[in-house]
Structure 1
């Protein structure tokens, strides 16, 4: 079987990268942008950093901001109608996973109207056409949605999130500018950063991992481990490191999948509206412990990338514990809680069943069933 790699046509990295947006739009003959960005980013002047670039270049745009933190089917449906009425010919997604996931779904449906039922996009929908040309501008260092073929939508009616995996949703351009991330509060920086670390670690140990993606994931773990504490303190080096590290993680996991830490986080987000990065961070060391017997020598390399010294002199059990403990310490250092009081015993069956049905679960290196999933959830109660 051939291994596949999907990446952006073009990506820009570094402070001031957003200034390239106008040049790219003109070169490609785009006329009007449909700007997807959430209300808080508009309120605090983050979105305007990009729209100012468009205005200064004489480029038209229209803003769509009906986007929730966990974007819903209704957010997508409303966006499709607004896009149709706007006269836009491309999308600029500004924000974290919520804005980008909404933009991806809108862009796919506009280009593939037979999938206007948003639920029909779940899993690997057989779309025929690439989405509306999209420029993705992340404002968080975590989701890597700007370089992935994945997006996640919340089905409020059924209290579940569903994962969509489609090479046709890849933004043609990613603009990874750490200056766009400098206004993130500490808590959001910490949670999105731990989401990025979860991407890197789960992508490294997933069933589909191979040499090229291993290269991406190990480098991402190394950069994130060195940078996240500084990013939370808003240092220039920390912000720049996280902007790069989360993108590199996305280059890997988008092409090989994730595991049950993400399945469980999706479920917690759908049922309790738990922020995705917080849920990932809480579940990651627990899931790593669950998976450790099926990972060969990979935890040694995770520990090494996390900055643990002396791993070559450790036993298998010692370096596995060292890797898990390094993740726990980083999570604690950036202020992630270990317990989620919202979980109720009577919810466990639904949580576990949703986890097992999640699109990320098959990639986990160790199979999961309902009873094991319930036991893992109990560890954060």
Structure 2
């Protein structure tokens, strides 16, 4: 089976998905506007770089995409992001395509203008199937009027790489941490204010606490000023962390915090990575974050934009090592059960096989993972011929 993937080649989620497909023996062609770093990818993966850049690139590249796809012999086009790339695929006229929504493409882009909304709806309506990383984002797709053909397949976690340290860190210094892009929508200012408020508790202050913030972004200077004003010298900015180094970073923390304020935070990959490392987590009620946390069992869910609630949650976890250990262990068990990377990849491959066996024009109602669904389709061994229709 040959799969053409249309995606941002420099994104870590693209890199992980595409490499996983190649490692499992699929023939993969990555089509992109962003030149990749070949060292990021499995050597068997082929690349095609689309030629146009700029505001009209998605429209100008649409016929090029069709040309590349038709001559590639690919069985299916998997489009990541329903905004720009989804619109390009729709304009190309390629019918045998799967669209994966990521967050901003369904929460933000459709509300920019009637044109943006029309392009996203075209991308979604014309797809054989839509996948979402979370149930809450699938509901957002339904609110756009796409009521069928939606599968929930999360971004998973390799629990072999993301696991607890062999020996737990001592309680002092006590490290609260996050790994997140420094953009305003992710609520890093709330994290700084909440941590600063927690320092007012003498019991917490006695634990020699620090806040470590890993990531880069447009708001870094603003957040550094806020940290200098409020953080009593206890807030450290770690800068960019390569994904390969994230497990070691997480193992330094005692508590992981993600308090985004924007519902476009559709799935908390970093949160389940932290849970896999047996960290208790504190998350806001934004978007899909509560979906990856069992409140009171694997972590705590608090209202967004609430430094006072965050300070209380930090203090509660800092004061109770047994609670932290129990939540961490429950979090890892939940990740292994629901978000194991290999299982998520196999579900996507099963969906590929199903779509390649589905005659074009057939609507498939979905009610669960591919192994649990039935639908009005028949097997078609001439998948490649169908892809050229």
- TM-score calculated relative to the size of structure 1: 0.30
Tell which structure's C-alpha radius of gyration is larger: 2
Structure (1 or 2) with the greater helix fraction: 1
Normalised by the length of structure 2, the TM-score is 0.30
